[in-house]
Amino acid sequence: DAGVTQSPTHLIKTRGQQVTLRCSPKSGHDTVSWYQQALGQGPQFIFQYYEEEERQRGNFPDRFSGHQFPNYSSELNVNALLLGDSALYLCASSPNRVSYGYTFGSGTRLTVV
């Protein structure tokens, strides 16, 4: 049984560009949450998707947007990249919006130059 799969594993982008990160949740999970983990920091909540809608959002600008597909997979899009967006982006899946059932992926390391 595959866990949470994220792609790509590493990515280098230039300031001002746009990026799309992808996440496939664990089998049986229908909720996807995205976190940003800057170097030396804990994960910061970006937003949560359930039933193809954004249900909750953390303190992140509108440059961060997402989508959830009917198969529960999800994308995180970041526009107009800043150097400060460099971080590990983690996807966590869970069943029925229950966050204490999180299963995390290994993350996508985004570097903005």
Partner 1 sequence: AQSVTQPDIHITVSEGASLELRCNYSYGATPYLFWYVQSPGQGLQLLLKYFSGDTLVQGIKGFEAEFKRSQSSFNLRKPSVHWSDAAEYFCAVGEGGGSYIPTFGRGTSLIVHP
Provide the CA 28 distance to its chain's centre, in angstroms: 18
Query: Which residue has tokens 């107009």?
Result: 80
Least Å from the CB of residue 16 to partner 1: 28
- 10 forms bridges with which residues in the sheet? 109
Which of these, 9, 2, 3, 1, lies nearest to 104 by C-alpha position?
Answer: 3
Least Å from the CB of residue 98 to partner 1: 5
Residue window 87-106: x/- pattern of binding to partner 1, with contact defined by CB under 8 A? ---x-x---xxxxx-x-xxx
Asked if 45 interacts with partner 1 (CB under 8 A), we say: yes
Q: Which of 1, 14, 40, 84 binds partner 1 (CB under 8 A)?
A: 40
Q: Which of 18, 27, 56, 111 binds partner 1 (CB under 8 A)?
A: 56
Phi then psi for residue 101, to 5 deg, are: -100, 25
In sign, the C-alpha dihedral spanning 6, 11, 52, 64 is positive
Residues of this chain that interact with partner 1 (CB under 8 A) are: 4, 33, 40-45, 48, 55-56, 58, 90, 92, 96-100, 102, 104-107
